[in-house]
Amino acid sequence: MSLSLKEIRIASNFSAQQTKEILERHFASIPFPISFECRELVVHKRSLETAAVVAIASAANAVLVALITGLLQIAREGRSKRITIQGKSGWKLEIPADLPREQKEALLDSIHQTDLEKIDLAL
């Protein structure tokens, strides 16, 4: 049985390498297989090349919830106010970093995993 993998771009105001190191430290002890890669991206608005971090994880709901929950914790520790999750079809969801657990769980349950494309993390 093959495991379906999902790639999710994670943007932050740190360099891609710094963001990757923060994510690897934070997710080192979780029991889910998530890896992070720095990739060169082309920004179409200005035709600039830039680096971004891509999370490669199982498309299983539990893994994606763990990834988003961990990013919210990193955002809180970095004194960020929110993360923004974006889907391929254009939908966006802003989640306050200090959202109570019950509300966070309800939001995470409503995310369409197959459409998840990008997470903006302001550190």
Q: What is the pLDDT of residues 14-73, one digit of tens each?
A: 788 888 888 888 888 887 778 888 877 655 555 444 567 888 877 667 777 788 888 888
Pair of tokens at residue 5: 């993998």
Q: What is the pLDDT of residues 82-99, one digit of tens each?
A: 888 888 888 888 888 888
Nearest 10 degrees: Cα torsion 21, 6, 83, 52: 50
Q: Which residue has the tokens 């106010």?
A: 81
pTM for the model: 0.73
Pair of tokens at residue 29: 């002890």
What is the dihedral sign for C-alpha 102, 75, 78, 54?
A: positive
Distance between CA atoms of residues 27 and 23, nearest Å: 6
